[in-house]
Structure 1
């Protein structure tokens, strides 16, 4: 049956975390992959990202040595009083790795991005190394022909095009999708402090707890702090209620310390207020948007032999409050790699066509990410929804549980769906 497997010519649009993961997953499955990135990576900085077990399992399956991304393994959630800093609740992860198979990693985005860049093009590991092609912004993507035209005038084609071109994707419109989204009533400052600077100034070493730490002011004002890069960098997300003055778009808007303190209450916990006042740091402002679920994730040619699918933020941009944005993209990539693999055929006895495989991809991914999107939006103004992963008594039928998120078995789910969908 594995003899029926077919190598695909794949073009991935976008070389962020989702695009690199897609390239790696499809490379590992034996396909020929080119990844096109619009920039040259010169400005790649970012902040920290959490990689829960449902994302970490894919990194391990693809042979990524996560230790090289200098992760901090998170052990608990800690909730602080906004004014005093007093601990109001500790939510240990307990036997997290034993339960879910992999640790709960926290990494600097750049550390993980740099690592994935190296792995996708490395001659080591299964599959032909991906081509990583920079300074190529796709402006035309044709799902009928597989043709791609770039802003620099170059052109290419592929059987499968994976659009991982982010929250401002230009591919959705070319698939006939008009996304519905609007500004959130929240914004965020994200900043990075060095542990060494905190210690040098006699301030609190926030790396000690290896935790996600919350300070909750009101429904919208929250500070979320955790360490990464082997504990040497402290990453903070400071969420606040948006005002009419918050008109800037994007993730990397320049910001100042004074602007940060203007949105923080004056009675903020002195330990963190002193850190913000005395330590130099890189700070950016981030405008948050609420994206409604999309009607579909892919389109194929009339013959079904060429197709374009959306992945990551291009498919399901979400609020950051469940820390699942990057992880959901890794799940997307893992699903594509598995569906178009010899392993899938061996496990199910089903040989998917390109169109059938993309139908299965959408059927598996859409319900899951839509639920995570909704839960992330609720958690923006209700911290109990976020901590509610650990069954803290919140009586909400839609509340995500840690078992749903981190204990998900995607291959088992896809195998079952394949028997329903592809054999129907």
Structure 2
């Protein structure tokens, strides 16, 4: 191992979404100087519910985040229902989940957890120097050899480490010599929210207290429903067969109620009534299948500068394992732990360990998420009760993972 004198790093985080904010928080708490650069005028998070399994929740707890501020619902089971009438087919009780894996299975509204992470990253309170958040800073040039970043507004900076959390359409990735390989899925997704108060006022079926992720249908075309925001909101993801016209729809486009209902032919009338009378914030996006990328970082020849890809920029995946945001939390936890005083690694050494730890794990989760797009029995939880195969992803592998121990082993073996 190279003997280095520990010093705080100047870190630029490109992207103010969940991945960027969690990376900033993790690095701040290790004593580094962090600035977050968000490309838009507001570093906001859109979307509906977000499931946060224990492998993500453990890191937020590690960073001192008070989950109550994010208004979580603690999930207690998974429920399969018949598409046509909502009759329960089977249940997977989470039972002793918290006891077994150390943390609850949280369900959150994206907007809530985004605000909480932003507050913790930038607040004067907490360990480390508060992160600075700069809006309207779209990075157009990133040089891993020098740590130089140029923004569309003319601003330039030079830092030790760039963390590129700039999403599926990452502008950083091509500058590291990576050409993304992806194709359109034959699936699209429409999200719709229900206000629990309105559901109750109208006397409609209320799923807010079921403490569950509920599924209508078992194939690639299904409905996924769950409560969030202290049970005040019901979130529903409707996966449908995308047609030629849907190619034109991009992330977060408005879509009509008529489109939503026509995409769910023969669906349980109870859900159709909820869509019709209570549905709001109806958005559509097309899903894409992303191939794993060849590497997650580039470091300078001197080992003193580097760029790391994080979250969707590194491992965009299908939503069917509910691990996209959780994997970004893990990425952030890995970087914070690796670049702590415990190890005192150079940039190049640390990024080498980051890739060794992250790439194999998230590539397996990517593949399992794609399989779960086709077959609900591949979804962690359900996967534990069915016929095993070599690639099967189990709930123990995902939720019981001890990343710190794995990093300790990797550093001992490779540095």
SS of equivalent to 2:302: coil
Q: Deviations over 1:49-88 (max 9, x none)?
A: 0000000000000011111000000000000001121100
Give the match for residue 185 of structure 1.
186
Between stretches 351-360 and 16-25, larger displacement belongs to: 351-360
Q: Residues 144 and 298 of structure 2 are in contact (CA less than 8 Å); yes or no, is this contact kept in structure 1? A: yes
State the match for 1:301 in structure 2.
300
Query: Counterpart in 2 of 1:416?
Result: 409
Supply the distance in 2 between the matched residues of 1:100 and 1:76 (Cα, whole angstroms): 15
The alpha carbon displacement at 1:219 in A equals 2.7
Matches within 5 A, 1:25-424: 25-41=26-42, 44-216=45-217, 219-265=219-265, 267-342=266-341, 344-345=342-343, 351-389=344-382, 391-422=384-415
Q: Which string of whole-angstrom CA distances, capped at 9 and with x for unpartnered residues, describes residues 93-128 of structure 1?
A: 010000011000000000000111111111111100
Structure 1: distance between partners of 2:161 and 2:115: 25
**What is the TM-score normalised by the length of structure 1?**
0.95
Q: Contact 1:96/1:104 (CA < 8 Å) preserved in 2?
A: yes
Q: 1:157 to 1:58 in 2, by over 3 A?
A: same
Change in 2 beyond 3 A, CA 1:131/1:387: closer
CA drift of 1:251 comes to 2.0
The alignment partner of 1:127 has SS state of coil
Do the aligned partners of residues 361 and 323 (structure 1) sit closer, same or farther apart at CA in structure 2, a change above 3 Å counting? same
Cα deviation, residue 283, structure 1: 0.5
Is the contact made by 1:76 and 1:92 (CA closer than 8 Å) also made in structure 2? yes
CA contact (8 A) 1:388 1:400 kept: no
SS at match of 2:89: strand
Could you say what secondary structure the match of 2:240 adopts? strand
Equivalent pairs counted in the alignment come to 414
Structure 1, 41-50 or 55-64: larger mean CA deviation? 41-50
Q: In the aligned structure 1, how far is the partner of 2:68 from the partner of 2:248?
A: 36
Shift of the 99–65 alpha-carbon distance from structure 1 to 2, 3 Å rule, reads same
RMSD: 1.5
Q: Give 1:335 deviation, angstroms.
A: 0.2
Q: 3-state SS of the aligned residue for 1:97?
A: helix
Higher mean alpha-carbon deviation, 3-12 vs 236-245, is at: 3-12
**8 A Cα contact 2:47 2:111, kept in partner:** yes
SS of the residue 1:334 aligns to: helix
1:263-291 per-position Cα deviation (integer Å, ceiling 9, x unaligned):
111x3112111111211411000110000
Question: Counterparts of 2:224 and 2:261 in 1: how far apart (Å)?
Answer: 16
> Do the aligned partners of 2:192 and 2:279 also contact (CA within 8 Å) in 1?
no
> SS of the counterpart of 2:22?
helix
Specify the SS of the correspondent of 1:4. coil
Cα shift readout 1:358-387 (whole Å, capped 9, x = no counterpart): 000000000000000000000001010015
- How far 1:25 sits from its partner (Å)? 0.3
Deviation at 1:255, TM superposition (A): 0.3
- How has the CA–CA distance of structure 1 residues 120 and 183 changed in structure 2, closer, same or farther, with 3 Å as cutoff? same
Structure 1 position 252, deviation (Å): 0.7
Q: Which runs of 5+ in 2 are unaligned?
A: none
Q: Within 2, Cα distance between the matches of 1:329 and 1:287?
A: 21
Counterparts in 2 of 1:105 and 1:18: CA distance versus 1, 3 Å: same
Q: Structure 1 residue 250: deviation in Å?
A: 2.9
1:91/1:390 contact within 8 Å kept: no
Instruction: State the 1:4 CA deviation.
Output: 3.5
Q: Deviation string for 1:375-422 (max 9, x for gaps)?
A: 000000101001555511223221111100000000000000101111
Cα deviation code 1:295-339 (max 9, x no counterpart): 000001121110001000000000000000000000000000000
